[in-house]
Amino acid sequence: MTAPTGRPGPLRPGPRGLRRFAGPRLPRREVCELCGVVVAEEHHRHLVETERRALVCACVPCALLLDRPGAAVGGRFRAVPDRYLTDPDHRLDDGAWELLQIPVSVAFFFRNAALDRLVALYPSPAGATESELDPATWQTVLGASRLSALLEPDVEALLLRRSGGRTECHLVPIDICYELVGRMRLLWQGFDGGAEARAALDAFFAQVERRAKVPTGTGTPTAEAGRP
């Protein structure tokens, strides 16, 4: 995915795809970008439109068509998976975190397939803020995690949180990372985000931890159905 400048910047909302992340959750029906059918919140999936670097809405049947092996190869859209994995053995000390050049305690990383490189983003009052990584830093800091080998380009992210002297590492759908960005942008107050933003962050990661599975052997478990 490439931004208009050619740099691997953050995903952009599609015409309707991420409006629900920008404010309070209200009853809303979106439209599938593929077939045009109205999609209720409880039947809502997302696609990555690779050429425009945008997340767009999809109905479940259209998303399932693109979920099939090989269905999205060379295509315009890729379905965002619904799996949540975790690596409880992941270790990242303060020195390694400094290499990432992330000024806050939360960041997510996805592989840009078009440029074949990792992109690092973190929440801020202005939205998703980018911190570019060179391949050597990626390998040093995140390459040892078993989740990095499982990461699907463009549609999944490694979500990290530094807290209490340890770093949580999860593999998650890319759209929930932008949901987190939207929540933080809405709630952020003052220099450090404020109590309400911190409480929302704790609740968000609690949901991720409840859904995340530890990969075993060569297989990777599929997350439970539904959204967090």
Name the residue with higher pLDDT: 21 or 34. Answer: 34
Domain positions in the chain:
12-79, 85-211
Chain position carrying tokens 């060179």: 134
Could you give the 3-state DSSP secondary structure of residue 45?
strand
In this structure, the chain runs to a length of 228
% of the chain at pLDDT higher than 90: 25
Residues 114-138, mean pLDDT to the nearest whole number: 82
Give the pLDDT confidence of 34-67 residue by residue, as tens digits.
888 998 777 788 999 888 878 989 988 888 888 7
Name the residue with higher pLDDT: 48 or 24. Answer: 48
Minimum mean pLDDT range among 83-92, 104-113, 137-146, 193-202: 137-146
Is the distance from CB of 34 to CB of 58 less than 8 angstroms? yes
pTM over 0.85: no
Give the closest residue to 119 by CA, choosing from 6, 2, 10, 3: 10
pLDDT for the residue 3: 31
Q: Which uninterrupted H or E stretch holds 63?
A: helix 60-67
- Encoded amino acid at 203, one letter: A
